Structure 1
């Protein structure tokens, strides 16, 4: 028979003896009792939505962009026919085409598209390749690109860039923004446009003076910017990436035809009712009369004519007899009376 001292200790007695939690009590059949693992499940609250990081954007930018697209639908601005996308030789090898795109962008700084296109035509006829640029002397190269803005400085940049491309990139242009901005005379705007046109890769927004000016006028920036690079960073913070390539082409042509730097044509702009700057751009101040900048009153109304058209008229006037002096009515009557008497 089992004695009283040999009987199994119950849980209640163990609690009294050890006065420790059940999970740490020693069982009579050996070892500590293992704590039971509980699985806790929480009810899913379907009403909770993930937190979205809101970014600033202009309230009317979509409507304004559609209006600009409508105004640019004719594609007849200088950038459409003479921009960097049209200045390279389509039949040249790929690396030569990319180099010509870069050259046209370098020449376009502070220069109208018409002047850039004319310079590129002369360069292509001469041979717009890395090798030809390096073998052409500075004076001849200057005559080819004249009268682009700062043409003397650009001659140096073209020579230095061509030498760098031949030495480090085998005659081709870099395929990254970081590599492009290392080239002499190439800034962020040119680099992003070169990536888009030459490499067909959108790396950023190409912001020139037109894009910078119009973005500030339309209120597309959280706060006014002072230079194109600040405008680029501000636009890229909220403008959808799929519009980065199109926005340069749209705004440049729009700035060349409607939203002019001086005296913009707000009366014909489709955004005149939503643009915060509409009809507020003051016209250019006319210089005071007598100041060095004031125009000559006689020269402001004269029209220029070709010498070939001007010379025959002058000869005709010299051959004609001088007009008779005006005669008063009294003198005319006296002459008639004298003729009748004779």
Structure 2
């Protein structure tokens, strides 16, 4: 009977493929024959696992084992482990691993923000995080932004300081009793003039480097320079200073004298003058003027307004400026489109004027003679840079608070009105 039961147990152990220990024992032929059969009533107290078989094989005590149900299987199925008091004690004493007990998440306290209650209001106090501030990327980015802001602020401060310095110097030089009897159309006319002087000193205009007074050849004799001054003024009518300056350089490369201009073919002269406004008419006027100058003035220019205006293509504005530049004589105010526009915007004329010549007559009636020589140069440069024809930069103008035309939208003129 015992042999039969042992055979059955052995066959059962062979059929269980998952029990590797039983298979190994079966292959080795180590078949344990129990010497005593334990009754089923006491089975619950004496049952052992297959893993205990190896350790108890040499003992004489009777052991009953189940080849099917291992310790691991019973633990998984939740069966009682009271049959293994030693194992239970070791299990109880085994400390819980970190994987069994999830770590407690400590509540993060944000030390960078502090809320302070002040009455009914809550004040939030922020602290700069040192790690973020010391980060190389953040540091470089902050440095670049700060450098650009600092440079802009420094440039603005330097410009303001320079304007204040110039204004202080002019105010110190200003006599409070200066021009007390001037009956100007605008009561703050001298404030306008003083502010324009300050702005002109701080910003260069095209007229400063390319005006008619800069077009003559400084190495030529006085007579030739006067002639070249007249030619530049004749070309400057309704033409930008840059264009006039370039045309004068082309003419000077061909030796600009009355004789050379007389001998030059009209077509060649027109090509040299292009793209000056009305260059064909101006070429014709130059040819006629050269003939008069060579016949009547020994290749020089007249030294009075009457004879200058009599020359072909020469108007009052050109004549007065030519007298000031070429002969160093102040005979009147040279009023061009810039002086005409600014005089009307600033209210320097009793009533709006339509033509530059009307503006000249109105200005000369009240403006002190000592200021005639600088009005043209001041107003032309100011009109080229700030008080422009279509979109004046009133935000940059020192007269924005005392100018009657400040922030007035100016519409561009139609083509037929130009």
**Which of 118, 123, 129 is matched with 2:251 structurally?**
123
Report the counterpart of residue 301 of structure 1 in structure 2. none
Change (3 A) 1:134 1:219: same
Q: 1:280: how far off?
A: 1.2
Taking the aligned partners of 2:345 and 2:218, their CA distance within structure 1 comes to 37
Instruction: Return structure 1 stretches of 4+ with deviation > 6 angstroms.
Output: none
- Using the size of structure 2 for normalisation, the TM-score is 0.55
The 2-side partners of 1:279 and 1:122 are apart by 41
Q: Which residue of 1 aligns with 2:224?
A: 96
**CA-CA distance at 1:263 after TM superposition:** 1.1
Larger Rg over CA atoms: 2
Paired with 2:339 and 2:378, the residues of 1 have a C-alpha distance of 9
- Structure 1 residue ranges without an equivalent (≥5): 1-51, 287-342
1:42-191 → structure 2 map (5 Å cutoff): 55-74=183-202, 76-191=204-319
Of the candidates 379, 394, 399, which is equivalent to residue 251 of structure 1? 379
RMSD of aligned residue pairs (Cα, Å): 1.7
Q: Which has the higher helix share?
A: 2
Deviations 1:312-341 (A, max 9, x none): xxxxxxxxxxxxxxxxxxxxxxxxxxxxxx
1:54 CA displacement:
7.2
Q: What secondary structure is seen at the aligned counterpart in 2 of 1:106?
A: helix
**Structure 1 residues 193-243: Cα deviation after superposition (integer angstroms, max 9, x where no partner):** 000000000000000000000000000011111100000010001111111
Confirm or deny: 8 A CA contact 2:270 2:280 kept in the other structure: yes
Deviations 1:290-313 (A, max 9, x none): xxxxxxxxxxxxxxxxxxxxxxxx
Structure 1 position 203 matched with structure 2 position 327: no
Tell me how far 1:281 sits from its aligned partner: 2.7
Q: TM-score, normalised by structure 1?
A: 0.67
CA contact (8 A) 2:182 2:367 kept: no
Counterpart position of 1:263: 391
Unaligned runs of 5+ in 2: 1-179
1:58 Cα deviation (Å)?
A: 2.2
Look up the SS of the partner of 2:387 in the other structure.
coil
* Aligned positions of 1:317-332 closer than 5 A: none
Measured in 1, the distance between the counterparts of 2:229 and 2:409 equals 35
CA offset digits 1:178-200 (Å, max 9, x no partner):
01000000000000000000000
SS of the counterpart of 1:71?
helix
Residue 273 (str. 1) matches residue 401 (str. 2): yes
Offset at 1:285?
A: 9.7
2:360, 2:220 → 1: CA distance?
32
Is the alpha carbon distance of 1:223 and 1:89 closer, same or farther for their aligned partners in structure 2, counting shifts above 3 Å? Answer: same
- Structure 2 Cα separation of the partners of residues 194 and 110 of structure 1: 17
Once the 2 structures are TM-superposed, how far is the Cα of residue 56 of structure 1 from its aligned partner? 4.2
Shift of 1:90: 1.1
Q: Measure the CA separation in 2 of the matches of 1:167 and 1:262.
A: 45
